[in-house]
Amino acid sequence: MSSRKQFWRTSCAFFVTMGFMQPSALLAASPDVVIGKPSSALVKSMIVPASAEPALSLAQKVALLRQKVKYVFILFQENRSFDSYFGTFPGATGLVPAPSQAGYTQKIVNTDGSVGTISPFLIPASIQNTAGATVPLYPMDTDSVDHSHTGIVNDEHLTNGVTLNDRFALNAEGLTTDANGNIVSRSTGAPLATLSPPTLAQKQAAELVMSHIDCDTIPFLWQYADRFALFDNFHMSITSASTPNAIAMISGQNGVTQMALHPGLAGSNSSASAVAESGGLPMLNDDGPYAGSNFDNSPVKPPYGPNDESPAVPALNQTYASLPLSMMGSNIEKIIQYDQNPALDLADVQSDIKTIGAVNTPVNWGWYQEGYDHEPTDGSGATTNATYITHHNGPQYFGYLGDNTKVLSTNMHGLGDFFTDIAGKKLKTQGVFYVRGGYGNNDGLLPVDPNPTVQANFDGSDDHPGYSDAQISEALVADEVNAIAASPYWKDSAIVITYDETDGLYDHVPESTRNYDSFGNPNQASERIPAIVISPYASVHSISHVYSEHTSIIKLVNTIFGLHPLEELPDEKRARALGVTEFGQPNLTPFDNEASMGALLEAFDNARLSGTVAPLPASYAEIPAADVHSLPHYAGKGCANLNIVPTDYVGGKVTDPAPADFNPRPNSTPGLPTTPGWGG
C-alpha cells in the first residue's frame, strides 16, 4: 500500500456467492477492499463516504444485484500480467515498494556468458542513442515471449506447493535452474558453462518479460481503474496459454473432469493415439477446436481462421459442463436437439442436462469475436475470417456448442455484430455477452511507430503482444464501453474488463496450486492478470485484494442469474470423486462453489445498489470518440491527464530505469536502440 495514499475501508467486502457462507453475514468494513485519495475532483465527487454505506446481509446484496443488474459484459483481452500493466498503480499490490519475494530480483545471463541480475523496470517512451538523438521506443508495441504451459511452469518455479516466480528471465533465454540452484539448459539440463551465451535478442527477451508500462502508454485502462473497481488479486485460472484460459472463462477448468471420467485420455498416456494426436487432457496448448476441424464431419461447421491453428491437428472435443450449457436452463432439451453429434458431445453431461433443465432459468448469451463472420474490414466482399483467431474462441471447443446449429446461428457472432446489436437494441431482456478482438481492428487504426514492420504486424486489437498495439487494443475496449454506455443497457449493466493469461510476463505474487496435470505439473491456478469492473453501481476508485480468477466471473453470473454452480452438477461431482481415486487429486473441479473463490461482488457499492446514492451516469464511463481514435492517446501524457503519479516516480524521476541494451521488440525490430539508425 503506497505511503502517499491515505486509505479508508469501504463496505461491500462480501466476496463469496450466496450460500457459500452464512446468509446473515454483514458486508461490513474490510481490509480486502480499499479506496484511496482521489486523483481528481470528478472522482472525488463520485466516491461514497464510508459513513454513508449501509451494511447489507449477503441475501440483501444478492437480491439487490438481481434487481439492478440484467446484463453482464465480459470484454476479454489477451496476454498481460497484472504487474506489467498495473504494477505501479497507486494503492494496488504492485512493484513499489519492492516486494520481499526472491523473484523480484532474478538471474539473467549476459551475452558474454556472465550472470547478472534484473528487476522490474518501466519501458521508457524514448531513449538517447550514442549520437545524442532522441529515439522513441513505442512501448505500446512489444514482442511476445514464451507463454507455453511448460514455459510458465518454469517461470513460476513451484516449490513446496507455492511458486517462487524467479525464473522468468532465465526461461526467456531457454534456461532454468537445477535442484541445487545452478543455471542449466531448459531442454537438455546441460550446465551453463557448456552452453553458448545468449544472443542479444535472447537477452533482450529476458529483459522484456520483466518490463512494465503505465498510464502514459495505456491511459484508458488506468482511467477505468481509477474511476471504477480494480482487482489486484485476479488470476488466470490455468497455468498455460490462451486456449486453456479461454475455455476456463466459461467452464472454470480445462478438462480436468473429463480427464477424471476418461483417464485413458490423460496427456501422460501418450501411447493412446487420440492423446498422441491431440495432447490429451487437460487442455494445455493452443491447438484448434475439434468443431470446425478436418475431423468434424458435421454438415454445418464453425469457421477456422486461415491465419491461425491448423484444422488438421485439433484438440480433443471438450465434453464437460460449461456456463453456456448451464444458461440453456429449462430450454436445454430443445436446444440440444440441434446438436449434430449428440453421441460424441453429450454423453458426459447427461445428468447435468437433467439438473440444468430442472433448476435453471434460461439466460441469453452471446460470444462476439473479431473475424468470426463478416466484418467491416471485409467491405462488400465475401467473409474472409482473416482476423479470426480460432484458438481464442472458448465455446467452439465444446462440440455441444460448436456443432449445434441453433447455437451457431443464435449465440456466435463477429465483433462488428456486437456494435450492431447494441445499437439495434437486440440483446433482449437480460444476458451475458463476451467480446473479443483479433488480428486486426475495425477502427482502421495503425500503430504510431512508422517502422514498416510494426505498421504491418501490430494493428491487432486484442492486446496480445507480437501482433496487437496496446493503444489500438484499449481503443477497442473504449469503443465497447462507449457503446454500452450510450445504450439503454447501461443502467442495468456490469462490465468486466479482463485478460486470458500473462503472455509469460512477470508477476511477483506467489501462487498456490490446487490441482496438477497428468505429468504432475501445476495446472490451476496461476499468475495475476488485470481485471476491472465498470457499472452504474460500481464502488468508485476502489481496489479489491480478494482472491479471484476467471471462475469468479462464472460465480458472478451464477449469483446474478440464480444458476446452479457447475461444480455441483451431478456429472461434475461424479468426476471430482473419480479424480481422487484415479489421480489422487481432490480438486479436479470447476471450483465455482468454493468459499475461497471470489465472486467480484465487492465491486458493487452498497449505497448505489440500495438507492441511497444515485447510480453513476453513463458519461462517467465514456471517453470521447475523438480521443479514442487519436493516437497516441492523450498525446502520450496520460498520467498528467489523469493526475496520477505512478508509484515508481519520486520527485518526477523514474526509480526503475530500463537496462541500457533494452529493446521492446527484439525480434520485430532487432538490434540496439542506442545504435543510430535503429528502428528506421
**Residue written as cell 470484454?**
75
SS3 205: helix
pLDDT at 12: 31
H or E stretch at 34: strand 33-35
- Cβ–Cβ < 8 Å for 387, 439: yes
Alpha-carbon distance values, 283 to 241, 347, 525 (Å): 10, 19, 14
**Residue written as cell 476441424?**
293
- The whole-angstrom separation of Cα 509 and Cα 134 is 35
- The whole-angstrom separation of Cα 359 and Cα 120 is 49
- Cβ–Cβ < 8 Å for 509, 100: no
pLDDT at 19: 37
How many Cβ atoms are within 10 Å of 359's Cβ, its own excluded?
14
For range 363-369, the mean pLDDT: 98
First-to-last C-alpha distance (Å) of the chain: 42
- The whole-angstrom separation of Cα 153 and Cα 659 is 26
Residue 432 has pLDDT above 70, yes or no: yes
pLDDT at 679: 87
- The whole-angstrom separation of Cα 276 and Cα 674 is 47
pLDDT at 96: 95
- The whole-angstrom separation of Cα 267 and Cα 278 is 9
- The whole-angstrom separation of Cα 349 and Cα 161 is 32
- The whole-angstrom separation of Cα 151 and Cα 230 is 28
Q: How confident is the model over 503-518, as pLDDT tens digits? A: 999 999 999 999 999 9
DSSP state at residue 604: B
102 band by pLDDT with thresholds 50, 70 and 90:
confident
Domain map of the chain by residue range? 1-680
- The whole-angstrom separation of Cα 251 and Cα 74 is 14
pLDDT at 15: 31
13 band by pLDDT with thresholds 50, 70 and 90:
very low
- The whole-angstrom separation of Cα 72 and Cα 328 is 16
- Cβ–Cβ < 8 Å for 161, 153: no
SS3 154: helix
Let me know if 540 is exposed, middle or buried by CB neighbors in 10 A (0-12, 13-18, 19+).
buried
pLDDT at 100: 86
Residue 2 has pLDDT above 50, yes or no: no
What is the rounded average pLDDT for all residues in the chain? 94
- The whole-angstrom separation of Cα 493 and Cα 65 is 10
pLDDT at 9: 25
- The whole-angstrom separation of Cα 165 and Cα 235 is 14
Q: Which of 31-35, 134-138, 153-157 has the lowest mean pLDDT?
A: 31-35
* φ/ψ (deg, to 5) at 325: -65, -45
- The whole-angstrom separation of Cα 369 and Cα 159 is 38
List the strands of the sheet with 71-77, edge to edge.
8-9, 33-35, 542-544, 229-231, 531-534, 493-499, 71-77, 431-436, 365-369, 412-414
- The whole-angstrom separation of Cα 244 and Cα 241 is 6
pLDDT at 17: 34
- Number of residues in the chain: 680
Residue 3 has pLDDT above 90, yes or no: no
Q: At residue 130, what is the residue type?
A: T
8 band by pLDDT with thresholds 50, 70 and 90:
very low
pLDDT at 37: 86
Residue 21 has pLDDT above 90, yes or no: no
Residue 14 has pLDDT above 90, yes or no: no
Let me know if 180 is exposed, middle or buried by CB neighbors in 10 A (0-12, 13-18, 19+).
exposed
pLDDT at 22: 30
pLDDT at 36: 84
Q: Which of 22-31, 88-97, 443-452, 494-503 has the lowest mean pLDDT?
A: 22-31
SS3 178: coil
For range 94-107, the mean pLDDT: 92
Joined together, the cell numbers standing for residue 241 give: 496459454
Percent with pLDDT over 90 in the chain: 93
pLDDT at 1: 31
E strands in 17-83: 33-35, 71-77
Joined together, the cell numbers standing for residue 293 give: 476441424
pLDDT at 31: 66
- Cβ–Cβ < 8 Å for 516, 12: no
Give ∠ CA 535-541-545 in degrees, rounded to 5: 95
Residue 537 has pLDDT above 60, yes or no: yes
**In the CATH scheme, what is the homologous superfamily, with its name and number, of domain 1-680?**
Alkaline Phosphatase, subunit A (3.40.720.10)
Alpha-carbon distance values, 594 to 26, 217, 356, 551, 565 (Å): 19, 37, 19, 10, 10
Joined together, the cell numbers standing for residue 441 give: 481492428
- The whole-angstrom separation of Cα 615 and Cα 621 is 12
Percent with pLDDT over 70 in the chain: 95
